[in-house]
Amino acid sequence: MSHVRHYCVFRRRLAWDRFRHEVVSAVNILPFSEGGRRLQPRTSRKPECRDPERSLPMKRMKFGKKPFTAALCAGLLALSAWPAAAGADSPDNAQSKGPKKDNWKLVWSDEFNDGKIDPKKWTFDIGNGSGGWGNNELEYYTDRPENVKEKDGKLVITARKENYQGFGYTSTRIKTKGLFSKAYGKYEIRAKLPTGKGLWPAIWMLPEDNEYGTWAASGELDIMEGWGSKPNTVAGTIHYGQQWPGNTYTGKSYTLPNNSTVEDFHTYAIEWEPGEIRWYVDGVLYQTQNDWYSQSLYQPVPNTYPAPFDKPFHLLMNLAVGGNFDGNPDDSVSFPKTMEIDYVRVYDLVNRPYRDPIPPTMPKDPLPADARQPLPDGNLVYNGQFNQDDPSVPNLGDVPNTDYWRLFTGEGGSGTVSIDNVNGQNFAKLSIASGGWQPYSVQLLNDVSIAKGRYYKLSFDAKAAGERTMSVRLTGGASRGYAAYSPASNVKLTTDVKHYEMAFQMKQDTDIAARTEFNAGLNAQSVWIGNVRLVEIDGIPIDYDAPKTPLDGDGNHVYNGTFDQGDLSRMTFWHVNELGGASAEAKVFEDERKLNVVVTKPGKARSGNIDVQQKGIQLLQGMDYKLTFEAAALLPRTIEVELASKDGSVSYAKQRIQIGKSGVQTFAFKMNQARDNEAQLLFHLGDFPGWVKLDNVKLIRTSVYYEPGVVFYPLANGTFDGGLDPWVTATDSGGALTAALDGGEAKLNVTNQGANPWSGMFIQDGLKLFKGITYELDFDVRSSVARKIEVDLENSSYFRYLDQTVDVTAAPSHQHFEFTMPNDDTVSLKYFAGLIQGTTAVGADHQVWLDNVDLKVKNAPVKRPPRLIPDTSGNTAGQAMDLTFQDDAAWRSAVSGVKVNGNVLAPEQYALGSGTLHLDAGLFAAPSTYTVTVLANGYADASAVQEAANSDGNLIRNGDFSAGQADWLSWSDQGSQFTVADGKAQVQIYSIGGANWSTQLYQENIALKAGQTYKLSFNAWSTADRPIRLEFTNTGIPQAFFNVTSDSRAVYETTFTSQTDQILKLNFCIGNVVNGSAVTPADAHTLFFDNLKLVETAAPGGHALQNGTFDTDTSSWSTYVADGSDAALSVENGKLKIAFANYDGWFPWSTQVYQDHLQLDAGKTYSVSFEASATEAKDIIFSVENAADFNIKYLGATNISLTPGTQTYSYEFTMGASSDANAKLLFQLGSNNATGPHFNGQSVYLDNITLTQK
């Protein structure tokens, strides 16, 4: 070997604060080969020195012309190839069969022999977690002896069917977190498991600290999971990738031999080494995994392999009931069920080192002959241009040009697909009625064939109706457990068409039915997708020197400043350059994760240097920056830090820094040159021989930079001077909250805190916040009782940028919070007045007052403008509009222009007066909504949305369809088509689907006034008699049903009262609707609509109870269903039948049967009576109350236990000083928390209901 030098290498397992300069007696003399001018990092692991016979005397030595001591030589540990030990029991030989049995040494165990669970080894998870531990599990975990104990030398976990803490089952999840955790080793558990549908026993591991981020970026390791319905099978799995929902998993199941089942004792084990995990059952190896990755949030590349499985994990053992893994228990399962653990033993590897982590490589499999082969242009996506319409090819419910595509909706999502021409090309338009609560709630899909080991690039063009994100990835189907084949790419869509690309390697088994997923859930903004291509590529080229956008999160301009990302060198994005004849070696040790650079040879006089360099740094003109980094040297030395142009010809800033054995260094500078997106960061280490460490390199822009379009004052009406608009209330999970204006404050009336913090909310949506900007949130708050509330700023995926809990008392308090946005996003400000975690319910009706709510950019460079208030009187199309504002003379004098829908107005089109902005009638020619923006020098823009209503008072725009489909939207998961012909809307129903909302026709943004009564009327007819359901979405207005016939002259009407100022989405649900005995025919048919009108009217008078005997139908009675309830009304043998096919809903109010608009007079006494029964014993709740405010009850909520035998129930109540023309007689029939069946078919019967005055 030529160019060989020898030098000293010392053991490296020394702490950072001692700087690894401790001199030891054992030294290896190792050769290395000198490379070129740019160093190639070495990636092999260095063993400790193995020759204790040799020692190095402390003496002065010569290195060129510069003397140095043996202590310096001792620092040159980085300079070697550091080969691993070899031999018959080497890691290479161990990778397939594992170490010999005597290579494992017991380091931790529990034999469960002392009759008491050891609190120094075990702790517990208590409760049901969030969403049933994220899996919809049904049990409540406890640490009670009824659920977990030691008995007869075993740990016994028992699942019981019992009502406890509001749940139907109890069990235990026991863990070692905080008490014992370990990276690598052998984990062995002998256990027997129960069987039965819906049981889910598991022995598994989670990271002790989520160092790479939340699940599953930091990993999950399942030693054993069992399906209760598959007694002969167990599985081992790893979960990894990005944080949810960008996670993925791989694993394998194992069938127990010789007709054995999990009810027998078996020994389950894993052997975990760096870069390899092996699974065993009874000593039989059935699976080896070595291919995984971890990518932390806001990180440009994955963490270095073998992350995430290179950190300590703790052990968990549990017996779950129900959920996503094995479904819910059925009637065949008898409880209690037990899981027994004989022992848990953990071993460490001895007699040889752990294997080196070697990233796996895989050959490229061919596509099978029966796969969907690439098109002639190489595209694996068929009909990626949305221009194919072959009758023999399945498509999106007969939507033309959608061959090979399909739409999934679920988890609360709904939407439809149509083809739209965008810039002369066909795009698929996803019109989203509801974004649901999962990224995949609305999902456009195309099946492709991809082969294991091959690389692919997916590209497409897309835009949206407004700024939003969309998650795109390749996955397997149901048979593959929807496993992710590619990382999730969360693309940011705007109103302009942009091109997007992502590349990946298919690392799982070849799949000829893989899914290209465009996940458009969590947001109702429409999305357009076109030019979709998936092509095979040779590899994934990455230009690590390309311009770098500052990272989301902390805004660091330096990539991999922590030296723990990318390839095994952990030096991805970095270069170490040898200049002027100087030489050096660079290495990052896995257990330390800091850059070590050892200068081994000085260069030529005044030209020798060693540079540590990163290219592609973004610097903006006029901005201030701060560079921080940790640096240390074996001997004190001076280095120079520089920011320079790409070619180095221009130095933007430089500073000499003295470094010693440790310390954080800071370098602040201002970029005085023109913007440079390809600057370079340089650490000039000099050429004096020695050892330098660098870590945690961070370059942050300390000046605030405002991108065009930044909204400086995103929140509107925080002082409530103009009422409550645009604030809204929302309730969930049993909460009851209303809002009203009270002396210039917003008063929240809390009458039920519900089960969760979000059970009662006060919200303002649509707040645009921007990356890297610090915001301030201020508000005043008080309460009639001492309690806690939460204030959150969260996006549509419920990711929280601010999450604070506030103590509130009767004394007003001012609250102030600051936060910096890690990325651009549109968020909601939410005040949670439900049941705050860690508290108990107040137990009484109470009020919370809010005022002076202010969300703004900290130190905003422009002033706040006055709030523009739209014209709501005489605001009809063709009329002039007068918007108002709290007068500000200084602002008026600074106004420089006005825009309507982005168009700059001529001076004669508007007039700005004291507190008034007058806009000419010609600007509002047609009924629609218009965005008005006022620009003023030194002020942020002031904007308002102005509605131009119909001149006849009709709140529905284009209700006669004279403007075609304008202002109307449709959605269907069955391919139904909405068109307008001859001034009439028609919806062609090809298939009715499985739900009443499978097809929808709707109009949004209809403003309703508090306390105002409205009358809705319309013509409707159908080629087949059928019922339709009218939903008043986003309001508390009860639904309405109509039975439509072929009579085109029929007029349908309903009257309702809006209790608050709110925005209505008027939604005709015309899928599979059932209204009593009226059902929707399954055959294709067409519905027609015309002359829709919504006008203000006088409140109707009340009436006596109607149709209490159900002789013919269910008329006069209404239902409310939610939270999974599938209740359906009909008449059977002269009785009202409420049938539940599968489920009655989570809460008592999830299923309601009622009659409202009942007249009750002040001071009168009433008698109410009814007959009731149920097919199985079941608890229900009965009450008489105000239809608009359920907190006003005339007959309090009464619990009734129904049985199969019919019984008569009678009650009396007396009205107070006020009459009520809108009283409601109510039956609440839901609740998983009440006694009775909930997850199987059942029915309740009601008859002979009377309400009479005595």
Q: What is the pLDDT of residue 1124?
A: 66
What pLDDT, on a 0 to 100 scale, did the predictor assign at position 31? 27
- For residue 748, being part of any structural domain is answered with yes
pLDDT 10s digits, 1021-1049: 999 999 999 988 767 687 889 999 999 99
Alpha helices, H only, 563-651: none
* Residue 114: CA count within 13 A, CB half-sphere: 5
pLDDT at 927 over 90: no
Mean pLDDT lowest for which of 46-50, 165-169, 222-226? 46-50
Determine the pLDDT at residue 986: 93
Q: How confident is the model at residue 323 (pLDDT cuts 50, 70, 90)?
A: confident
The structural domain count of the chain equals 8
705 pLDDT band (50/70/90 cuts)?
confident
Q: Are residues 788 and 849 in the same domain?
A: yes
Which residue has 């001529």 as its token pair?
906
- Is residue 1084 predicted with pLDDT exceeding 70? yes
| Residue at token pair 């999840």 | 173
Residues 944 and 973 in one domain: no
CA distances from 661 to 16, 285, 562, 610, 689 (A): 9, 49, 19, 19, 15
Residue 1140, domain member (yes or no): yes
User: Do 821 and 769 fall into the same domain?
Assistant: yes
The domain spanning residue 928 has which CATH number?
A: 2.60.40
Mean pLDDT throughout 1190-1194? 83
What is the per-residue pLDDT for 94? 35
* pLDDT tens track for 820-829: 998 888 899 9
What tens digit of pLDDT does each residue of 448-499 get? 999 999 999 999 999 998 888 899 999 998 888 888 899 888 898 988 999 9
Three-class secondary structure of residue 802 per DSSP:
strand
Of residues 693 and 1058, the one with the higher pLDDT is: 693
Provide the pLDDT for residue 15: 31
pLDDT > 70: percent of the chain:
91
Query: Is 647 within a domain?
Result: yes
Q: How does the average pLDDT of the chain come out, rounded? A: 86
Q: What is the CATH number of the domain that holds 1229?
A: 2.60.120.260
Same domain, 272 and 155: yes
What local confidence, expressed as pLDDT, does residue 33 receive?
Answer: 28
Q: Is 736 exposed, middle or buried (0-12, 13-18, 19+ CB in 10 A)?
A: buried
pLDDT higher than 70, residue 34: no
Per-residue pLDDT of 247-268, as tens digits, reads 888 999 999 999 999 999 999 9
Mean pLDDT across 192-197: 95
Mean pLDDT of 301-310: 96
- Name the token pair of 1006: 């209809």
Q: Clarify whether residues 187 and 336 are in a common domain.
A: yes
| pLDDT, position 707 | 82
- Residue 1006 is predicted with a pLDDT of 86
Q: How confident is the model at residue 1187 (pLDDT cuts 50, 70, 90)?
A: confident
Which pLDDT band holds residue 1232 (cuts at 50, 70, 90)? Answer: low
Task: Look at residue 1141 in the predicted model and tell me its pLDDT.
Answer: 78
pLDDT band at 89 (very low <50, low <70, confident <90, very high): very low
Q: For residues 889 and 937, is the Cβ–Cβ distance under 8 A?
A: no
Q: Is residue 2 predicted with pLDDT exceeding 60?
A: no
Q: pLDDT category, 65, cuts 50, 70, 90?
A: very low
Longest dimension (CA), the chain: 116
Give the SS3 label for residue 1229: coil
The pLDDT value given to residue 809: 96
Residues 1123 and 1083 in one domain: no
* Domain-located, residue 959: no
pLDDT of the residue at 97: 55
Question: Between the ranges 9-18, 649-658, 797-806, where is the mean pLDDT highest?
Answer: 649-658
Q: How confident is the model at residue 98 (pLDDT cuts 50, 70, 90)?
A: low
Tens digits of residue pLDDT in 383-401: 999 999 888 888 887 789 9
Is 90 exceeded by the pLDDT of residue 1147? no
Last residue of a domain, which of 485, 509, 537?
Answer: 537
Cα-flanking dihedrals φ and ψ of residue 256, to 5°? -65, 135
pLDDT, residue 840, reads 87
Between CA 681 and CA 574 the distance in angstroms is 10
Contacts of 75 (CB under 8 A, 6+ apart): 10, 20, 21, 598, 634, 690, 691
Burial letters for 1123-1146: b for 16+ Cβ neighbours within 10 Å, e otherwise?
Answer: bbbebbbbbeeebbbbbbeebbbb
Same domain, 1092 and 1204: no
pLDDT above 50: residue 292: yes
Q: Is residue 711 part of a domain?
A: no
Q: What is the pLDDT of residue 872?
A: 81
Residues 885, 756 within the same domain: no
| Residue 428: strand pairing partners | 419, 529
Instruction: Supply φ then ψ for residue 1148, to 5 degrees.
Output: -55, -40
Confidence of residue 75 (pLDDT cuts 50, 70, 90): very low
Q: Are strands 1178-1186 and 1220-1228 parallel, antiparallel or unpaired?
A: antiparallel
Domain-located, residue 941: yes
Could you give the residue numbers annotated as active site? 220, 225
Q: Is the Cβ–Cβ distance between 1064 and 1093 less than 8 Å? A: no
Residue 533 belongs to some domain of the structure: yes
**C-alpha angle 1233/1235/1238, rounded to 5°?**
70
Q: Is the pLDDT of residue 517 over 90?
A: yes
Task: Look at residue 1005 in the predicted model and tell me its pLDDT.
Answer: 79
Alpha carbon 972 to its chain's center:
25
What's the length of the chain? 1254
pLDDT at 44: 34
According to the model, what pLDDT value does residue 915 have?
Answer: 94
Is residue 14 predicted with pLDDT exceeding 70? no
Which tens digits make up the pLDDT trace of 625-642? 999 999 999 899 999 999
Q: Which residue has the higher pLDDT, 324 or 195?
A: 195
Span 911-919, mean pLDDT? 96
Q: How far apart are the first and last CA of the chain?
A: 112
Is the pTM higher than 0.85?
Answer: no
pLDDT score of 238 more than 60: yes
State the average pLDDT over residues 302-306.
Answer: 96
Instruction: Report the distance separating Cα 1131 and Cα 1245, nearest Å.
Output: 9
- Give me the residues paired with residue 226 across strands: 234
* Domain-terminating residue out of 1068, 1097, 1126: 1097
Q: Which of 360-369, 722-731, 792-801 is predicted most confidently?
A: 360-369
Statement: residue 58 has pLDDT above 90: no
284 and 318 belong to one structural domain: yes
Instruction: Decide if 510 is inside a domain.
Output: yes
> What is the pLDDT averaged over residues 551-572?
94
Residues spanned by the domain of 829: 728-857
In a shared domain, residues 604 and 481: no
* Least confident among 443-452, 1083-1092, 1146-1155, 1178-1187: 1146-1155
Q: What percent of the chain has pLDDT over 90?
A: 61
Predicted confidence at residue 523, as pLDDT, reads 83
Residue 168 and residue 123 share a domain: yes
Is the pLDDT reported for residue 1064 higher than 80? yes
DSSP 352-416: SPPPP--------PPPPTTS-PPPTTS--STTTTS----TTS--STT-TT-TTEEEEE-TTEEEE
Task: Clarify whether residues 669 and 776 are in a common domain.
Answer: no
**Angle CA(722)–CA(728)–CA(729) in degrees, nearest 5?**
135
Q: Is residue 504 scored above 60 in pLDDT?
A: yes
